[in-house]
Amino acid sequence: MATYEDFVKNAIEQYQKLPQETSELYKRYFVAVPFELMNYIGKGNGNAAEIEGIVDNALKGSIKFDVVLTSRSASSASEFAKIEEAGRHFNEGMHSNEEDKYVAFIQAYAKNVVVINVPKNANVKLNMLVSNSDEPLNTKIIVNVDENASLSLFEYYASTAANTSSTGAIHEIRMKADANAEINCLHNENDKTVVLAFCKNRIDRSANLRFNSVYNGGMVTRVRNYIDANSDMSNVDVTEIVFGSKTQKFDVATKILNAGKGSNASLQTKAALMDTSFCIMKGYAKIARGASNSRSYVHERGILLDKGAKVDGLPDMSVDENNVKATHSSATAPVDADTVFYLMSKGINETGVKKLIVNGFFSSELAKISNMPMKELSMAVIKRKLETKGFGETPEASTKDIWVVASDVNKDGIFKGHYKYRE
């Protein structure tokens, strides 16, 4: 039987061997990580108390973190979340070293694993703070939600790095029958940080998983999610919000799969970009043979707020079963000059107009998020970026002048404006 040392050795070899993009479908469309991340391992420091103090001060106690992870330390104050050594979980994961260069990187250099266990019938809410310093921070987050249990998890990703660094997280989510989970990730790392995010899941009959991500921070963001409605009557709903400024680059690839009969899988990705930021949205949906009466939905939208910004939308779909409903769409456009003129003619300045348009653009997705820390802090970081173009600092979670129109999403989770929208 292979040892953990063999596993790590293999992971390092895979990291060195693999190209940055292995997918034939996307090999011409990806954002390259511009340097060797392993060169930065072992550098810098990480002080849990310091970062917790900075974030707590900004949030004025409105959000209490149960789990705090930094590049050099990890702690949990919750009975439901345990910090364990990476070696204990090396051979039972859903992710393998061979599948992606940066999965291998995280596997090789993860010191800790956060294991969240939600027992049968329990209802658990957890807030997690993850902050890298100059030392890259690699973490594996294993979530187990038992039968008929419910989890609302908020993960806030910050950064204190003064030099090139990275934060990498692998999520592995297992849900038993009738379980419910809302996993929320808000990425607000600073511009020295490369963001690496991976997720896989396995869910049983009639379980519901909502996976919401806001990508606001980071120099380069690379996302590879595989979210599956594995079992009969299971539901997965993925929401991705990308808000870029300056020279930020985002490569967001998410694959949803219907494998169970009567299952639902939906993916909504929205990107608003300023300055010369760039985003590739790669939404892929598959309905497997046997997944009859299932529904799949991929929806990508982009708006360009400045001439130098760019979005590539690459939706794709593969349907191997009859008697299913499947739709996909993608559209990107610059902000319409007539819309800006209309709003400015009523007295709103250009910054105010952009604020209205971007908040309006994201409002239907934000309205769907039921985790309040995620919703409020996401709106606050978006507001901060609209006002200053900055990111990476934790703003006050004040949403005084931000309005979300909840009615913009109907009971089926379909957006107003979509041709299938019904009140």
Partner 1 sequence: MILEIKDLHVSLEDKEIINGLSLKMEQGETHVIMGPNGSGKSTLAKTILGHPHVKVTKGDILVDGKSILDMTTDERAKLGLFLQFQNPVEVEGVGFINFLHTAKENLRGNTVSAKDFMKDIRANVSELKMGDDFIGRSLNMGFSGGEKKKAEVLQMAVLKPKIAILDEPDSGLDIDAIKVVSASVNKIAQAEKLGLLIITHYSRILSFIKPDFIHVMVNGRIVAEGGKELVDQLEKEGYDKYLK
The contact set with partner 1 (CB under 8 A) reads 336-350, 352, 355-357, 359-364, 401, 403, 405, 407-408, 416-417
Name the amino acid, one letter, at 191.
D
Name the amino acid, one letter, at 249.
K
Find the shortest distance in angstroms from Cβ 405 to partner 1.
5
Q: With CA atoms as reference, report the closest residue to 148 among 173, 115, 123, 182.
A: 123
Helices (H), 191-317: none
Q: Token digits for 220?
A: 């380069």
Determine contact, residues 83/76, Cβ cutoff 8 Å.
yes
> What is the rounded CA–CA span in Å between residue 410 and residue 364?
10
Find the shortest distance in angstroms from Cβ 417 to partner 1.
5
CB neighbourhood size of 40 (10 A): 18
CB of 93 or CB of 352, closer to partner 1: 352
Find the shortest distance in angstroms from Cβ 212 to partner 1.
17
Find the shortest distance in angstroms from Cβ 156 to partner 1.
25
CB of 35 or CB of 403, closer to partner 1: 403
What residues have CB less than 8 Å from 102, skipping those under 6 apart?
15, 33, 37, 168, 196, 198, 222, 224
DSSP labels, 328-348: EEEEEEEPPHHHHHHHHHTT-
Find the shortest distance in angstroms from Cβ 386 to partner 1.
13
**Gyration radius from the chain CA atoms:** 20
> What is the rounded CA–CA span in Å between residue 130 and residue 61?
17
Determine contact, residues 303/332, Cβ cutoff 8 Å.
yes
Determine contact, residues 270/362, Cβ cutoff 8 Å.
yes
CB of 2 or CB of 344, closer to partner 1: 344
Determine contact, residues 233/262, Cβ cutoff 8 Å.
yes
Find the shortest distance in angstroms from Cβ 382 to partner 1.
13
CB of 11 or CB of 303, closer to partner 1: 303
Determine contact, residues 70/48, Cβ cutoff 8 Å.
yes
CB of 157 or CB of 361, closer to partner 1: 361
CB of 28 or CB of 400, closer to partner 1: 400
CB of 103 or CB of 357, closer to partner 1: 357
> What is the rounded CA–CA span in Å between residue 84 and residue 384?
35
CB of 202 or CB of 418, closer to partner 1: 418
DSSP letter for 409, please: B
Find the shortest distance in angstroms from Cβ 367 to partner 1.
9
CB of 87 or CB of 360, closer to partner 1: 360
Find the shortest distance in angstroms from Cβ 379 to partner 1.
13
> What is the rounded CA–CA span in Å between residue 201 and residue 198?
10
CB of 96 or CB of 398, closer to partner 1: 398
Q: Tell me if residue 17 falls in helix, strand or coil.
A: helix
Q: With CA atoms as reference, report the closest residue to 41 among 81, 76, 79, 11.
A: 11
Find the shortest distance in angstroms from Cβ 303 to partner 1.
11
Find the shortest distance in angstroms from Cβ 58 to partner 1.
23
- N-terminal to C-terminal alpha carbon distance within the chain: 57
